[in-house]
Amino acid sequence: MVFAIEEINRNTKLLPNITLGFAIYASCGMPVRAIKGTMWMVTGQEEAIPNYRCQVHYPLAAVIGDAPSSISMPVANILGIYGYPQLLHYVKNVHFKNNAGKEIFFDKNGNPPPAYDVLNWRLLPDGSAREVKIGNIDFSATQSLHLVINMSAIMWNGGKTQIPHSVCSESCSPGYRKAIHPREPICCFDCVLCANGEISNQTDSSDCMKCPDDQWSNDRQDMCIQKTFEFLSYKDPMGATLTVLASFFAVIPITILCIFIKYRDTPIVKANNQELSYLLLLALVLCFLCSLIFIDKPRIWTCMVRQAAFGIVFALCVSCVLAKTIMVVIAFNATKPNSNLKKWVGPKLANSIVLVCAVIQVIICVAWLATFPPFPEYNMKSQIGIIIIECNQGSSTAFWCVLGYMGLLAIICFIVAFLARNLPGSSNEAKFITFSMLVFVSVWLAFIPAYLSTKGKYMVAVEIFAILASSAGLLACIFFPKCYIIVLRPDVNTKEYLMGKETFRNKKIA
pLDDT tens, residue by residue, 92-147: 667 777 777 777 777 766 667 777 889 998 888 888 888 889 988 887 765 566 78
Mean pLDDT of the region 490-502: 68
Q: Report which of 203, 218, 436, 463 is spatially closest to residue 317, judged by C-alpha positions.
A: 436
Distance of alpha carbon 271 from alpha carbon 258, whole angstroms = 17
Q: Is 464 or 45 the better-scoring residue by pLDDT? A: 464
| pLDDT interval class at 324 (50, 70, 90) | confident
Structural contact between residues 425 and 448, judged by C-beta atoms closer than 8 angstroms? no
Structural contact between residues 276 and 349, judged by C-beta atoms closer than 8 angstroms? no
| pLDDT interval class at 32 (50, 70, 90) | confident
| pLDDT interval class at 462 (50, 70, 90) | very high
3 state SS of 81: helix
Distance of alpha carbon 72 from alpha carbon 441, whole angstroms = 118
pLDDT in tens, 470-491: 999 999 988 898 888 888 888 8
Is the pLDDT at 342 greater than 50? The verdict is yes
Is the pLDDT at 49 greater than 80? The verdict is no
Please report, as a single letter, which amino acid is at residue 479: F
Distance of alpha carbon 216 from alpha carbon 230, whole angstroms = 15
Q: Report which of 141, 149, 87 is spatially closest to residue 114, judged by C-alpha positions.
A: 141
Average pLDDT, the chain: 82
Mean pLDDT of the region 174-197: 87
pLDDT in tens, 67-88: 676 777 787 777 777 777 676 6
CA 184 to chain CA mean position, Å: 32
| pLDDT interval class at 508 (50, 70, 90) | very low
Q: Where are any strands of DSSP class E within 40-145?
A: 95-97, 103-105, 115-123, 129-138
What pLDDT, on the 0 to 100 scale, is given for residue 343? 63
* Segment among 27-41, 373-387, 429-443 with least mean pLDDT: 27-41
Distance of alpha carbon 61 from alpha carbon 412, whole angstroms = 138
Q: Report which of 103, 104, 75, 102 is spatially closest to residue 87, judged by C-alpha positions.
A: 75
What phi and psi, each to the nearest 5 degrees, are found at residue 431? -65, -40
Distance of alpha carbon 288 from alpha carbon 471, whole angstroms = 7
Q: Is 174 or 28 the better-scoring residue by pLDDT? A: 174
What pLDDT, on the 0 to 100 scale, is given for residue 416? 84
What pLDDT, on the 0 to 100 scale, is given for residue 471? 92
What pLDDT, on the 0 to 100 scale, is given for residue 54? 64
